Amino acid sequence: MQFQDYYEVLGVPRDADADAIKKAYRALALRWHPDRHQGDAKEGAEKRFKAASEAYEVLSDPAKRAKYDQFGKDWEHGQDFQPRGPAAGGGGARRMSREEFEAAFGGAGGFSDFFREMFGDDVRRDFGGGRARAHARYDYRGADVRAELALPLGAALQGGVQTFQVPGQSACRTCGGTGFVGEHVCPTCVGVGSVRQLRTVELRIPASVRDGLELRLKGLGEAGQGQGGPGDLYLTLRLKDDANYALVDGELEARVALAPWTAEVGGTVDVRTARGTVALKVPPGSRAGKRLRLRGQGLVQPGGDHGDCIARLELDLPATLSARQRELLAQLAAEEAQP
């Protein structure tokens, strides 16, 4: 973290006593704890909460405060402040005693009025030892998450399961989601109790897939706290063109490759549409670029009915040719070259 004026962060004068510093931090922690904010406001609250925790970490320690008052931004000999604790390898870091913690937040008997006021009477804290503990300090349902998934049209029509990643938050492993390691503020999450990470999600593509379709994936949002369950993931599908399919004016367009002789004499070819594979009748004398409408074979519309699929004809030679086919093509080329 970069240098900041800790007195300004807590909103106290430079000659503030320990009680004033404690009171200011308590008020800021109650106001800016991230779990009291949702949506876009949560990130800003998290930054303010971390800044207040950092300031209190220094100003509540007489030795650190004396160095800070004397040297300012160089109080740690030019090092940016990093909260240190057992999990961060900072062996020389000061640890708040149980008595100091209760004095700071007014609690007794293993839990504080600070957390009781914030989250209710069921809050419990365990002050014995520095191991990460998975017990809950309160019950809180995880936040819902919104994300978009770009999906090629061919994959959408094929269906099945798609795997993708979305950003989210999970309980901090260092402190078990409590925000504290023993009696000390967790050095990994700085008291927030959660950390950001990418999550892998498997999605079965629905038959009603369309561009802009929003899916609710229950329990795949951010992790909850305590007995609170996780939030939900609201996923919006965004269909994108690929080599064989495109969205044209909201309609599904399929690229259909034809051999030149099929286009000339007519025939039947298989086309994969939103409703499965259908047989497309190609009229004799068809040319590249011709568009044939397959009614009711397109993507599902908002009202629930299927739109149309447009088959756009393109001329292409088969990947493999027989000897007879190569001979005939050579004859055509020779005739074309004659004056």
Domains of the chain: 6-119 (1.10.287.110), 145-239 (2.60.260.20), 245-337 (2.60.260.20)
Mean pLDDT, residues 144-150: 84
Q: Which residue has the higher pLDDT, 21 or 130?
A: 21
* pLDDT category of residue 82 using cuts at 50, 70 and 90: very low
Nearest partner of 81 among 6, 191, 9, 182, judged by Cα: 6
Residue 61: the pLDDT is 86
Mean model confidence pLDDT for the chain: 77
Cα–Cα distance measured from residue 211 to residue 156, given in angstroms and rounded to the nearest whole number: 10
Strand partners, 184: 181
Cα–Cα distance measured from residue 277 to residue 262, given in angstroms and rounded to the nearest whole number: 19
pLDDT at 196 over 70: yes
Cα–Cα distance measured from residue 125 to residue 111, given in angstroms and rounded to the nearest whole number: 5
Residue 88's contacts (CB-CB under 8 Å, 6 or more residues apart) are 82, 187, 188
Q: Which of 2-6, 54-58, 248-252 has the lowest mean pLDDT?
A: 2-6
User: Does pTM top 0.85 for this prediction?
Assistant: no
Mean pLDDT, residues 90-96: 42
Residue 3: the pLDDT is 64
